[in-house]
Amino acid sequence: MKMMKYIAFVVFAVMLVSCQKAIEIDLPEVDQEYVVEGRIEVNTPPIVILSETQGYFDEASVESVFGTFVHDAIITMTNSDGNTFVLTEICSSSIPDSLLDDVSALTGIPAESLGFFDYCIYTSLDPNAMGEENKLYHLEVDIDGKILTSSTKIPGIVPLDSTWFEVEGDLDSLGFVWAYLTDPDTVGNYYRWYAQRINIHTYGVEAGTVKDPFPIAPFGSIFDDKFFNGLTFDFAYNRGEIGNLEGQDDEGPEEGYFKTGDTVVIKFCSTTRENFLYIRALENQAATAGSPFASPGNLPFNIEGGIGIWAGYAPAYDTLICE
Amino acid sequence: MKNIILFILLLPILTFAQKNYTLSGYIKDKSTGEVLIGATVFVPSISKGATSNVYGFYSLTIPEGNYEVKYTFVGFADQMKKIELNGDLKMNVELGESSEIMEEVVVEGKATDNTNSTQMGQIDLSVDKIKSLPAFMGEVDVLKTIQLLPGVQSSGEGNTGFYVRGGGPDQNLILLDGAPVYNASHLFGFFSVFNADAIKNINMIKGGMPAKYGTKLASVLDINMKDGNYKEYHAEGGIGVIASRLTVEGPIKKDTASFIISARRTYIDVLIDPFIKETAAIKGSGYHFYDLTAKFNWRISDKDRIFLSGYFGRDVFTYRDKNIGINFDVPWGNATGSLRWNHLFNDKLFLNTTAILTDFDFGFSSRVDDFRFEISSGIRDWNFKQDLTYFMSTRNEIQAGWNFIRHRFIPTSVSASSGDTEFDTGETVKIFAYEGAAYIQDEFDLNENLTINAGIRYSMFQQVGPFTRYHKNPTTGKTDSTTVYGKGDKIVFYGGWEPRASMRYLLPDKSSIKAGFAHNYQYVHLASISSVSLPTDLWFPSSELVKPQIGTQYSIGYFRNFNKNTWETSVEVYYKDLKNLIEYKENAQPEDNVADNVDNQLTFGNGYSYGAEFFVKKAKGQFNGWIGYTWSRTMRTFDDIDGGLEFPAKYDRRHDLSVALQYDITERWNVGLIFVYATGNAISLPERRFYSFTENRLITVWSTRNGYRMIPYHRGDISVTYTGKTHKEVVDPDTGDITLKKKRVQSSWNFSVYNIYNRANPYFIFFDYSGDLSQNNLKVNGYQISLFPILPSVTWNFKF
């Protein structure tokens, strides 16, 4: 019988381990598509990043990625008042280094990236182009005659009732940020959570720099009110990381935690359904990469003639000192 | 149309109206009392014959006279009876096993040879023969064997279900003693829910379904359980590497009532548990399944029999990880019960009344720290049907019947809480619907060469309240309004005529041409949210948005046997048109079903399939088996997928080859071999990517739906079966004569090797990124996961 157990164990182990091997896939050459990543936020100028896709197996270096920016497009934004704004292209090579941190905070793009490479956005410096609550925004992109269009709306601001920091379990100084939210009594509210620690690293290689250069959305940052329409409830978020940058506390015991002493600015945004579906699918794509249980599908882009997203955000800010 | 059918139905009555008498009765197995399905009654002098139905009943109407009647059934000795037919005659016959100890081994237990029956694309399999083919992990599986036949495609390792002639896995009607089984697989399709020891007979119809079958588009897999031995108690079982099974059968009252109970359980979890330390994080994780099959039957009189049969099976998957505080449990399973009453009004009129309950449910519950999430779905049917068979004359059999089903669906029921806050997940949605059908069909000889089976079925469907319809704004996707239906309120009605016809024309050289036409409606659908089929796939009914699926199939074939039916060959071609197919919209998530209607997440389309199937079988001899090859094409078109471009179905398979061979080396040693080759599944692949500068991630852009292919699937299995001595020599002490006496305990060893040349067939392909873009060492990788390497197994089977 012992033999039997042994056999069973081996067989089961084999079943579990199954076999995984790296494979090479020869994909035919495909035409590339234009990608629009645009946002219009309350009290903030519109920001549109225009790039192009690459072949899936093409070399993925920083240089090649930064080579995908599409320049010299004619981009216009029209709001529901009928005012049209032409967006101008601004590249990081043309702005003084002293402004890089401000641009980083505005765009959510790491200042290092802005400094090392030519990072280009389209925006409007016209104060009237800044986003306003409950307005519609139509976007039109003309790249050598190829037209891409999209529309979005900035929803109304829904502020959090309160926020607080709570140490997790028996950890002495690490924990999550909690919040109370009263959801308006209409179905169809979509929210996105960002948090930024604005205090300075006091030790380590990053000592002296601001902990988070801009507001960071943790994984699962976007949600809708389907399960709690009209309710008041509490929820917590862990600390997010910047996709491709590993900070000094993004690995090790502090990973994912806020810490006693942190000053955290919470940027709690109302956003659109299209953006909710897009970000949810984007996070889902990242989470299920390689799982057979997810059907491979493209993100629900809202750009006619191309891919990407044009989204309205209505942020409410809270500043919290973690104690 | 209706007039033509009426004419066809009446025609045989006109042509065969002459004075005849009826010979009828039951054909049974002498040793067990089990009725024999598909046994032949043949009167050589007038070349007339009939076969026994699923209850072993036959009826043959022939002119008055003296005859020699021959009763035959494969594996049994023929019996000749002399009769004097000058009035209706009842004759029950018991056939004994063939006198040779070494039976002729045949792959199929088919009574009439395949050139003679009108049914196209029909296959009968006897379980004994399936048992000597190689089996995965030694577990004999009837569904796996079915998939070796042309036109029937395996959905691949790790996937539940099978595909018939371009139809989806939800389009197969799987019946266990008349009760529909919604999910026929254990463990993601590695094992079927049917325990082979309890099965008597399997009948598969893939084309030209007769009118008595309905509710599904693609095929019928009709599985009959054994009745239980009427004469003596017997037990049968097997001990395998991962599971054991036991079947007990015997008389409750000799020759009158009998029972059979069969049980099976896997024990990997039990065997492994002692090896996992109490402190291990995953202690308590495991998987097992079990199933229980039982049947009782009672011959109340010569004219009445009652059957009660049931199936109950469960899969339970549990996962515990103390380190990260995750618990989840995933149980799912089927239960079916059927109560049947056979009544013989007279020697020509046979009535079968059945009441059925069938249930499938799936659950998932998880707990991560203090966040609790539960999701469940299920389907339950109450089903009542009556089928009347009228043996009007020899080779004219009329069947009529009706069927009523009450469905109850729970598409997705969710409850969730975090700490003390209970989330509002809405009330459990239950959907109620009624489905009904009535049919009449007639199989008759128009002349010596032409036999026709024509029938018509009318089916209907009604969804009733309580129900809440969420009306969606097509642009915003938000719920604009809701309509609330009260209990019993009519919501939607669908109905349709389903004409069916098949014919066989016998050519002078004893070969035959057959043609079939079938038009079917399907009101209950399965939607799969993932790229592999899983028990999580959701069953739900037609609704205001979901129209019934409609299938129309045309097929024609040429059948020819050689060398006294030793070799059977056939070629069949088919074209099938499918309407109102369903798919989930892209990026649909299971939680979207909550406080919403499932069908709001669906998109609808059409499809077609065509193909040619070639089949060569050696039915008799020491060396026997078959080769089946299918060439086919299956396409789909959905408005919401790739902007309405035609795309290949996942299981569009240009080439599909199956070889199943057996060789009896000696009386005791048998070798079985299986080889399969199939074109790779159609898949979508990532073609492009872009870097999201706002989300700081690489985003994949996929190809058009199923625009690429996996590498072909092929695999070989081999098995060796050693059968212990079945008889022992007994020396009579008085005379010294040596006689052979059957041994009380009979046993056999089955050694199987699955995937003998260790082919790494793809289960799925996935991609990921390694390294870091900021470090400039980012790489895109493609991986292929294969499930089973070479897998040997051994099973000991016994019978006493």
**pLDDT tens column, A72-127:** 999 999 999 999 999 999 888 777 777 777 777 666 666 766 667 788 899 998 99
> Three-state DSSP class for A192?
strand
Task: List Cβ neighbours of B458 (8 Å cut-off, separation of 6 or more).
Answer: B437, B438, B439, B495, B496, B497, B498
Q: Say how many domains are in chain B.
A: 3
Interface check for B244 against chain A (CB to CB < 8 A): the answer is no
Residue A282 in contact with residue B695, Cβ under 8 Å? yes
- Cα of A242 to nearest chain B Cα, Å: 7
The per-residue pLDDT for A245 is 67
Residue pair B199/B147 in contact (Cβ under 8 Å)? The answer is no
Phi, psi of B27 (to 5 degrees): -115, 125
Edge-first strand order for the sheet with A136-143 is A146-153, A136-143, A74-79, A84-91, A120-123, A47-52, A34-41, A307-321, A263-271, A190-197, A222-224
Which pLDDT score, from 0 to 100, does residue A295 have? 65
**Which among A18, A33, A49 is the nearest to B688, CB-wise?**
A33
For the beta sheet containing B697-702, the strands, ordered from the edge strand earlier in sequence to the opposite edge, are A54-55, B686-692, B697-702
In this structure, the dihedral spanned by the alpha carbons of residues A19, A24, A25 and A26, taken in order and rounded to 10 degrees, is -160
Q: Is residue B103 part of a domain?
A: no
Interatomic CA distance for residues B479 and B468, integer angstroms: 12
In angstroms, the separation between the Cα of residue B734 and the nearest Cα of chain A is: 45
Judged by a CB distance cut-off of 8 A, whether residue B730 touches chain A is no
pLDDT at A168 over 50: yes
How distant is the Cα of B372 from the closest Cα of chain A, in angstroms?
14
| Mean pLDDT, rounded, for A171-197 | 91
Mean pLDDT of B509-518: 88
The Cα–Cα gap between B777 and B780 comes to 10
Residues B80 and B213 in one domain: no
B791/A14 CB distance under 8 A: yes
Same domain, B205 and B256: no
Please tell me which of the candidates A11, A56, A284 has its beta carbon nearest to residue B686.
A56
Q: Assess contact for B206 and B165: CB atoms under 8 A.
A: yes
In a shared domain, residues B488 and B602: yes
What would the mean pLDDT of B559-580 be, rounded to a whole number? Answer: 90
Cα separation values, B95 from A61, B60, B74, Å = 78, 18, 10
Residue B441 confidence (pLDDT)? 95
- Contact across the interface for B686 and A284, Cβ inside 8 Å: no
Closest Cα in chain B, distance from residue A11 (Å): 8
Model confidence pLDDT, tens digit, residues B703-761: 888 889 988 999 999 999 888 887 777 787 788 777 777 777 888 888 889 889 988 88
Question: pLDDT tens digits, residue range B634-683?
Answer: 999 998 888 889 999 888 999 999 999 989 888 889 899 999 999 998 88
* pTM for this prediction: 0.81
Q: Spell out which residues of chain A touch residue B709, defining contact as CB-CB under 8 Å.
A: none
Backbone torsions φ then ψ of A102, nearest 5 degrees: -65, -45
Give the CATH number of the domain where residue B30 resides.
2.60.40.4130
Q: Is B708 left (phi over 0), alpha (psi -120 to 50) or beta?
A: beta
- Domain membership of residue B413 (yes or no) is yes
> pLDDT tens, A13-30?
444 445 667 777 777 788
What is the C-alpha separation between B268 and B286, in angstroms, rounded?
8
* Secondary structure string (H, E, C) spanning B587-650: CCCHHHHCCCCHHHHEEEEEEEEEEEEEEEEECCCCEEEEEEEEEEEEEEEECCCHHHCEEECC
Split at pLDDT 50, 70, 90, the class of A10 is very low
Plot region of B595 (φ>0 → left; ψ -120 to 50 → alpha; else → beta): left
CB distance B781–A14 less than 8 Å? no
Which residue of A lies nearest to B777 if distances are taken between CA atoms?
A: A61
pLDDT at residue A32 in the model: 92
pLDDT of residue B631: 95
**Is position B133 within any domain?**
yes
Does any domain span residue B241?
A: yes
Q: What is the pLDDT of residue A114?
A: 67
Closest residue by Cα to residue B778 from A57, A113, A290: A57
Last residue of a domain, one of B173, B199, B222: B222
Test mutation, B694, B702, B709, B755, chain A, max A CBs within 10 A:
B694
The pair of structure tokens assigned to B88 is 């209706």
What is the ipTM score, two decimals?
A: 0.89
Q: Is residue B694 part of a domain?
A: yes
Best mutation target among B271, B585, B691, B697 (most A Cβ atoms within 10 Å) is B691
What type of residue is B356? I
Residues B592-608 have a mean pLDDT of 82
Q: What is the structure's pLDDT at B339?
A: 95
Better pLDDT: B391 or A264: A264
pLDDT (tens digit, 9 = 90+) per residue, B280-315?
A: 777 777 778 888 999 999 989 888 999 999 999 888
Contacts (Cβ under 8 Å, ≥6 apart) of A110? A104, A213, A242, A245, B696
CATH level 3 topology of A34-153: Immunoglobulin-like (2.60.40)
| Chain A CB within 8 Å of residue B793 CB | yes
What is the distance of C-alpha B480 from the center of its chain?
Answer: 42
Give Cα B674 distance to the centre of its chain. Answer: 20
**Is B583 found in the same domain as B596?**
yes
- pLDDT digits 0-9 by tens, B329-346: 778 888 999 999 999 898
Sign of CA dihedral A213, A219, A223, A228: negative
Per-residue pLDDT, averaged over B2-6, amounts to 51
- Burial class for B411, CB neighbours closer than 10 Å (0-12, 13-18, 19+): buried
Grade residue B535 by pLDDT with cuts at 50, 70 and 90.
Answer: low
Residue B56: CA count within 13 A, CB half-sphere = 23
Relative to beta strand B713-723, strand B89-90 is unpaired
Distance from C-alpha of B626 to C-alpha of B615, rounded to nearest angstrom: 7
Give pLDDT, residue B111: 36
Listed ranges B89-98, B260-269, B366-375; the one with the highest mean pLDDT: B260-269
Same domain, B285 and B158: no
pLDDT at B367: 74
On whether both B272 and B305 belong to a single domain, the answer is yes
Say yes or no for a CB contact (<8 Å) between B688 and A32.
yes
Q: Which residues of B touch A21 (CB under 8 A)?
A: 760, 783-784, 786
Q: Based on the domain organization, do B90 and B150 belong to the same domain?
A: no
Rounded to whole angstroms, how far apart are CA atoms B351 and B390? 9
> Chain A residue with minimal CA distance to B595?
A226
Tell how strand B93-95 and strand B21-29 pair up. parallel
The answer to whether residue A4 scores a pLDDT higher than 70 is no
What is the band of A180 on the pLDDT scale with cuts at 50, 70, 90? very high
What local confidence, expressed as pLDDT, does residue B99 receive? 44
Residues B356 and B243 in one domain: yes
Mean of pLDDT values over B380-389: 94
Please report, rounded to a whole number, the percentage of residues in chain A having pLDDT higher than 90.
50
Can you tell me the distance from the alpha carbon of B388 to that of B344, in angstroms, rounded to the nearest whole number? 10
Spatial separation of the C-alpha atoms in residues B684 and A308, rounded to whole Å: 20
Asked if B567 and B464 sit in the same domain, the reply is yes
CA distance A70 to chain B (A): 13
> What residue type is B237 in one-letter code?
G
- Its domain, for residue B136, covers 122-222
| Contact (Cβ atoms closer than 8 angstroms) between residue B299 and residue B256 | yes
In a domain, B711, yes or no: yes
Kindly report the average pLDDT of chain B as a whole number: 83
Residue in A22, A54, A280 nearest the CB of B690: A54
Q: Round to whole Å and give the CA distance between B687 and B770.
A: 18
Q: Give me the pLDDT at residue B262, please.
A: 93
Query: Which residues, 6+ apart, have CB-to-CB distance to B690 below 8 Å?
Result: A35, A51, A52, A53, A54, A68, A307, B698, B699, B701
Domain shared by B75 and B132, yes or no = no
Cβ proximity of B223 and B177 under 8 Å: yes
A74-79/A54-55 β-pairing = unpaired
Partner residue opposite B783 with nearest CB, options A23, A60, A109: A23
Of A91 and A52, the structure prediction assigns the larger pLDDT to A52
- Cα separation, B49 vs B72, whole angstroms: 11
**Which is nearest to B694 in space by CA: A21, A242, A304, A208?**
A242
Tokens of B63: 């002119």
- Among the candidates B95, B113, B145, a domain finishes at B95
For residue B433, pLDDT beyond 90: yes
DSSP notation for A252-289: STTTT-EETT-EEEEEEEEE-HHHHHHHHHHHHHHHHT
Dihedral in degrees, nearest 10, Cα atoms B273, B274, B279, B282: -20
Domain boundary among B222, B243, B258: B222
Tokens of residue B111, six digits = 């009574």
For residue B463, pLDDT beyond 50: yes
Band of the pLDDT at B233, cuts 50, 70, 90? Answer: very high
Is residue B578 pLDDT above 50, yes or no?
Answer: yes
Indicate the SS3 state at residue A202.
Answer: coil
Q: For B171-194, write each residue's pLDDT tens digit.
A: 999 999 889 988 877 766 677 788
Instruction: Collect all residues with Cβ–Cβ distance below 8 Å to B342 and sequence separation of at least 6.
Output: B55, B57, B304, B305, B306, B307, B350, B351, B352
Mean predicted confidence (pLDDT) in B694-706 = 87
CATH at B200: 2.170.130.10
Percent over 70 (pLDDT), chain B:
87
Residues B345 and B469 in one domain: yes
Give yes or no: residues B298 and B444 share one domain. Answer: yes
Q: Report pLDDT for A19.
A: 62
HEC assignment per residue over B25-60 = EEEEECCCCCECCCCEEEEHHHCEEEECCCCCEEEE
- Is residue B163 over pLDDT 60? yes
Q: Are B531 and B414 in contact (CB under 8 A)?
A: no
Q: Is B527 on the interface with A (CB under 8 A)?
A: no
Distance CA B48, CA A214 (A): 90
Q: Is residue B486 part of a domain?
A: yes
The CA radius of gyration of chain B, in Å to the nearest whole number, is: 28
Q: Which residues of chain B are within 8 Å of residue A220 when distances are taken between CB atoms? A: none
- Smallest CA–CA separation between B776 and chain A, in Å? 5
B275: phi then psi, degrees, rounded to nearest 5 = -85, -10
The per-residue pLDDT for B160 is 65
Tokens of B62: 């022939």
Q: Is the peptide bond before B466 cis (omega within 30 degrees of 0)?
A: yes
